[in-house]
């Protein structure tokens, strides 16, 4: 049985809106000022994935890997600034850009998805061969779902010391439905436009194996049903969601894992949040009352907005790794 704790996170009164918490960082947060070191990992199947590093000079600095969310990258507000915070705290870290999310479209028809754990294994194996073994992985949103699925699949064979998952869509079907209704539909349509752009960019130069008209795909569910599922070996969206939802893998996790989740996350409903009996004893779910989707902004401090998530992640990693 896992553990659920109430978080100490408290935003200023004027920052309590989940939509403000969700939208503000993407629109107004400044990128951290550093030059990443890019590494292209060539795969045996002819494809590639990219890593964006922010390394410490110390050879023994613990390594942390970050997995982005849907249509995410180093440029995502949580990724760039998390690398900077980790570097300041003494960690070397990298953002793993899954297939299709690197600096150019990937070569194969397949891309990334919420359950692409084999690709995480490929990267971890590559880093092990390079003697750059990560001690921890942080997964955000879709990346958090992928990470939890991986941890459950690996069980006692997981090479990580600890893991952190943030704003996880534990039940993909329910989250997809949520993003098609009410105010949340605005987020769903934004993500759908990004997916359309990526699909068009990739298949404008090479022939798609699918016969589809993007104009007819008007929801995330339809995109997953017509594109994500067939490209990655699933029967349909329902099959994809069922096989890849991370909730079912939580009882099998043996790696100390922290999940950070806001009860007002507009991408999902409170009903999808797992209970203690549906998690292994190695899983701690830290629930905040506010925070939106990957927001967690506290308020102003010394003339600047204070972002709690990075502090909490660094604190956990320092406890576990140093």
- Please give the positions annotated as active site: 141, 265, 293
Cβ 285 vs Cβ 253: under 8 Å:
no
Report the distance separating Cα 235 and Cα 242, nearest Å. Answer: 11
Cβ 291 vs Cβ 265: under 8 Å:
yes
Cβ 134 vs Cβ 65: under 8 Å:
yes
> Could you tell me which residues are beta bridge partners of residue 260?
166, 286
Contacts of residue 160, Cβ cutoff 8 Å, sequence gap at least 6: 134, 135, 136, 137, 151, 255
Long-range (24+ apart) CB contacts under 8 A made by 197-204 are 198/71, 198/100, 198/105, 198/111, 199/227, 201/105, 202/100, 202/105, 202/106, 202/111
CB atoms within 10 A of CB 199: 21
Please state whether 291 falls in left (phi above 0), alpha (psi between -120 and 50) or beta: left
Report the distance separating Cα 194 and Cα 211, nearest Å. Answer: 20
Three-point CA angle 298, 12, 271, nearest 5°: 75
């Amino acid at each position: 049985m896992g553990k659920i704790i109430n978080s100490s996170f408290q935003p200023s009164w004027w920052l309590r809106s989940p939509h403000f918490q969700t939208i503000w960082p993407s629109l107004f947060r400044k990128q951290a000022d550093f030059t990443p070191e890019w590494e292209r990992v060539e795969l045996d199947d002819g494809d590639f994935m990219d890593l964006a590093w922010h390394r410490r000079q110390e050879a023994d600095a613990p390594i942390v890997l970050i997995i982005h969310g849907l249509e995410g990258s180093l440029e995502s507000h949580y990724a760039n600034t998390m690398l900077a915070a980790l570097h300041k705290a003494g960690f070397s870290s990298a953002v793993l850009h899954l297939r299709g999310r690197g600096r150019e479209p990937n070569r194969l028809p397949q891309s990334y998805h919420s359950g692409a754990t084999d690709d995480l294994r490929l990267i971890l194996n590559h880093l092990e061969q390079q003697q750059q073994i990560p001690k921890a992985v942080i997964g955000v949103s879709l990346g958090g779902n992928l990470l939890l699925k991986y941890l459950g699949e690996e069980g006692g064979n997981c090479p990580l010391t600890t893991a952190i998952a943030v704003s996880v869509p534990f039940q993909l079907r329910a989250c997809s439905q949520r993003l098609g209704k009410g105010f949340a539909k605005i987020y769903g349509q934004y993500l759908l436009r990004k997916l359309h752009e990526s699909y068009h960019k990739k298949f404008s130069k090479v022939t798609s194996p699918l016969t589809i008209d993007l104009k007819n795909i008007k929801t995330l569910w339809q995109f997953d049903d017509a594109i994500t599922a067939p490209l990655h070996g699933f029967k349909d969206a329902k099959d994809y969601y069922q096989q890849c939802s991370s909730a079912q893998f939580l009882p099998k996790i043996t790696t100390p894992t922290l999940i950070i989740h806001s009860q007002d996350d507009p991408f999902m409903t409170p009903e999808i949040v797992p209970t203690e009996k549906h998690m292994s004893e190695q899983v701690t779910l830290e629930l905040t009352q506010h925070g939106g989707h990957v927001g967690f902004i506290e308020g102003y401090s010394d003339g600047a907005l204070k972002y709690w998530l990075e502090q909490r992640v660094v604190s956990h990693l320092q406890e576990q790794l140093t």
